[in-house]
């Protein structure tokens, strides 16, 4: 990390200000080459002045200086706040690079912060989660983990396991000393407790993945039941083409919408029916194939037409795959009450609970449908302000592995294996937990995590 790096830290667009960030031992020297002011740059101060290059004034700016190790990266950092035009921002970055800095790689500032001990790996991942957050809930969870909530819990989990390993190793390596042996029952009790604590964190991933990635939703149904109209209503604009001609939607139409604290990744699919049209047939095949990828199906039924054998066949396929679904009866505004009641009764007899009646045309029942989705995924019950929640798949996989190692350790105890054999699995568990915070992690994993970051962060 001997090089001094620089990058634009804000979006490159016309705005009030732009920030060029410089980190490394030569940061101050580089800035002093191009910055003139009546005041001297001092740590933790913002100074007004001008960027001058080859005798030409480029811009009036504010420059801040943070001296190592009291900075984001742990190195000397200078930040130039210039006017937010795209051209002037690029010009100043070019001058900084010509004055001795190297263009930073994506995530290199945060990578240096991690390597310099300013944050651990889970906190660094929380930074990118915060930047990419699409909802308030996601941003709050990321902010808590950025502050170290997850790190603190992982360190607590490791601490007792490390103490147990040390106790075991002393009793094995120095039998001549009168050192109290660890009873197998007390080891199993400790391992059960740690497994339970890890599982409690792991169980939050089900919510966490939906918060981070959104819920993948497919709108399915026969032709002309109002699938495209429902997508347009949820999106609040005309995303999909709507006509009275069956088979209008030939391919999957996708849209992302915010539903309170959750994101819905919605796919409008081709109407499912037997058809001789080759293109439409491909669309129908895609509609059924999408069941492999979704978390929720909104199955639309035309209230005027009632239920058919085909409807129940498709609903049966959805149930057999274990996918969450909501039966949605559309066109309630023009469906006779007797027919609507018959549909509801038939659905109830088939064990299909809590269907939602809507009218896309009259904008009725849409809020009820949104609430049904929220309740189905228990999003409204989420107490992110007090509970630790994981949203990263990497963390989930490592937590599962750590539980498996603890289970292996308990099996060895129950089989009567020597205690030093048991300690092998406990050590593997602590190493796996350490990978979450970066205590035991390879350079390849570090590189893979930080390459997802944007330039300037």
Residues 347-405 pLDDT 10s: 888 888 788 999 888 889 999 999 898 888 876 666 667 788 999 999 999 999 999 99
Per-residue pLDDT band for 287 (boundaries 50, 70, 90) equals low
The fourth-level CATH superfamily of domain 212-381 is P-loop containing nucleotide triphosphate hydrolases (3.40.50.300)
Show me where the domains of the chain are located.
5-104, 124-204+389-450, 212-381
Element (H, E) at 381: none
Tokens 């350490």 belong to: 434
- Close Cβ partners of 169 (under 8 Å, ≥ 6 residues apart): 420, 423
Q: Is the pLDDT of residue 437 over 80?
A: yes
Average pLDDT over residues 436-448: 82
- Looking at every residue in the chain, the average pLDDT score rounds to 85
Q: Is the pLDDT of residue 267 over 50?
A: yes
- pLDDT at 243 (0 to 100): 40
Q: Is the pLDDT of residue 303 over 90?
A: no
- pLDDT at 5 (0 to 100): 97
Of the candidates 381, 379, 383, 378, the residue with the CA atom closest to the CA atom of residue 144: 383
Per-residue pLDDT band for 270 (boundaries 50, 70, 90) equals low
Distance CA 388, CA 408 (A): 26
- Asked whether 109 and 457 are in contact (CB, 8 A), the reply is yes
- pLDDT at 311 (0 to 100): 82
CATH topology of domain 124-204+389-450: 1.20.120
Distance CA 96, CA 7 (A): 9
Per-residue pLDDT band for 281 (boundaries 50, 70, 90) equals very low
Which of 56-65, 125-134, 372-381 has the lowest average pLDDT? 372-381
Of the candidates 308, 323, 316, 218, the residue with the CA atom closest to the CA atom of residue 264: 218
Q: Is the pLDDT of residue 39 over 80?
A: yes
What is the radius of gyration, based on Cα positions, of the chain?
Answer: 29
Element (H, E) at 265: strand 262-268
Distance CA 101, CA 27 (A): 8
- pLDDT at 96 (0 to 100): 97
- pLDDT at 275 (0 to 100): 46
Per-residue pLDDT band for 215 (boundaries 50, 70, 90) equals very high
Distance CA 35, CA 28 (A): 10
- pLDDT at 244 (0 to 100): 44
Q: Let me know how many helices (H) and strands (E) the chain has, helices first.
A: 16, 13
- pLDDT at 368 (0 to 100): 92
pTM: 0.80
Q: Which residue has the higher pLDDT, 173 or 378?
A: 378
Q: Which residue has the higher pLDDT, 276 or 325?
A: 325
Distance CA 332, CA 334 (A): 6
Which of 19-28, 34-43, 366-375 has the lowest average pLDDT? 366-375
Q: For residue range 221-242, what is the model confidence (pLDDT) as tens digits?
A: 888 788 888 888 887 755 443 4
Taking the alpha carbons at both ends of the chain, their separation in whole angstroms is 16
Q: Is the pLDDT of residue 112 over 90?
A: yes
Of the candidates 158, 169, 193, 192, the residue with the CA atom closest to the CA atom of residue 410: 192
- pLDDT at 116 (0 to 100): 93
| Portion of the chain with pLDDT greater than 70, in percent | 87
- pLDDT at 441 (0 to 100): 76
Average pLDDT over residues 283-309: 78
Of the candidates 87, 104, 79, the residue with the CA atom closest to the CA atom of residue 20: 79
CATH topology of domain 5-104: Gyrase A; domain 2 (3.30.1360)
Q: Is the pLDDT of residue 273 over 80?
A: no
Per-residue pLDDT band for 177 (boundaries 50, 70, 90) equals low
Element (H, E) at 301: strand 296-302
Distance CA 434, CA 401 (A): 12
Average pLDDT over residues 122-147: 89
- pLDDT at 105 (0 to 100): 92
Q: For residue range 288-297, what is the model confidence (pLDDT) as tens digits?
A: 677 788 899 9
Average pLDDT over residues 72-77: 96
Distance CA 59, CA 84 (A): 11
Per-residue pLDDT band for 255 (boundaries 50, 70, 90) equals confident
- Asked whether 8 and 74 are in contact (CB, 8 A), the reply is no
List the beta strands (DSSP E) in 351-397: 356-357
Instruction: Please name every residue paired with 8 in a beta bridge, in sequence order, or none if there are none.
Output: 20
> In terms of DSSP H, where are the helices of 5-85?
27-34
Q: Is the pLDDT of residue 342 over 50?
A: yes
């Amino acid at each position: 990390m001997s090089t001094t790096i620089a990058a634009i830290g804000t979006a490159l667009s016309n705005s009030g200000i732009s920030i060029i960030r410089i980190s490394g031992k030569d940061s101050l020297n580089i800035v002093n080459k191009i910055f003139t002011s009546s005041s001297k740059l001092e740590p933790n101060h913002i100074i007004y002045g001008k960027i001058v290059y080859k005798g030409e004034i480029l811009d009036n700016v504010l420059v801040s200086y943070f001296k190592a190790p009291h900075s984001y990266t742990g190195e000397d950092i200078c930040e130039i706040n210039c006017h937010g035009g795209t051209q002037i921002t690029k010009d100043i970055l070019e001058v900084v690079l010509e004055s001795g800095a190297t263009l930073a790689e994506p995530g290199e500032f945060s990578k240096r912060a991690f390597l310099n001990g300013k944050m651990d790996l889970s906190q660094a991942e929380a930074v990118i989660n915060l930047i990419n957050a699409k909802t308030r809930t996601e941003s709050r969870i990321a902010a808590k983990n950025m502050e170290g909530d997850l790190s603190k819990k992982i360190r607590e989990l490791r601490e007792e396991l490390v103490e147990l390993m040390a106790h075991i190793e002393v009793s094995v390596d120095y039998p001549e000393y009168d050192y109290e042996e660890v009873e197998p029952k007390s080891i199993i009790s400790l391992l059960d407790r740690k497994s339970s604590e890890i599982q409690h964190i792991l169980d939050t991933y089900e919510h966490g993945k939906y918060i981070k990635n959104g819920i993948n939703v497919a709108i399915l149904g026969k032709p002309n039941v109002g699938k495209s109209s429902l997508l347009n209503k949820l999106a609040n604009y005309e995303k999909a083409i709507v006509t009275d001609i069956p088979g209008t939607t030939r391919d999957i139409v996708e849209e992302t919408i915010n539903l309170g604290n959750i994101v819905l990744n919605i796919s409008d699919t081709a109407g499912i029916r037997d058809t001789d049209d080759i293109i439409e047939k491909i669309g129908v095949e895609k509609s059924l194939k999408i069941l492999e990828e979704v978390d929720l199906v909104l199955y639309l039924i035309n209230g005027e037409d009632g239920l058919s054998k085909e409807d129940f066949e498709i609903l049966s396929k959805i149930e057999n795959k274990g996918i969450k679904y909501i039966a949605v009866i559309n066109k309630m505004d023009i469906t006779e009450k007797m027919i609507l009641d018959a549909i509801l009764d038939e659905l109830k007899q088939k064990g299909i609970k809590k269907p939602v009646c809507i009218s896309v045309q009259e904008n009725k029942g849409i809020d009820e449908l949104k609430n049904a989705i929220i309740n189905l995924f228990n999003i409204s019950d989420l107490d992110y302000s007090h509970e630790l929640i994981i949203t990263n798949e990497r963390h989930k996989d490592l937590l599962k592995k750590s539980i498996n190692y603890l289970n292996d350790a308990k099996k060895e105890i129950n089989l009567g294996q020597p205690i030093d054999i048991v300690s092998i699995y406990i050590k593997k568990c602590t190493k796996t937990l350490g990978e979450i915070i970066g205590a035991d992690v390879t350079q390849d994993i570090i590189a893979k995590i930080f390459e997802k970051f944007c330039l300037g962060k």
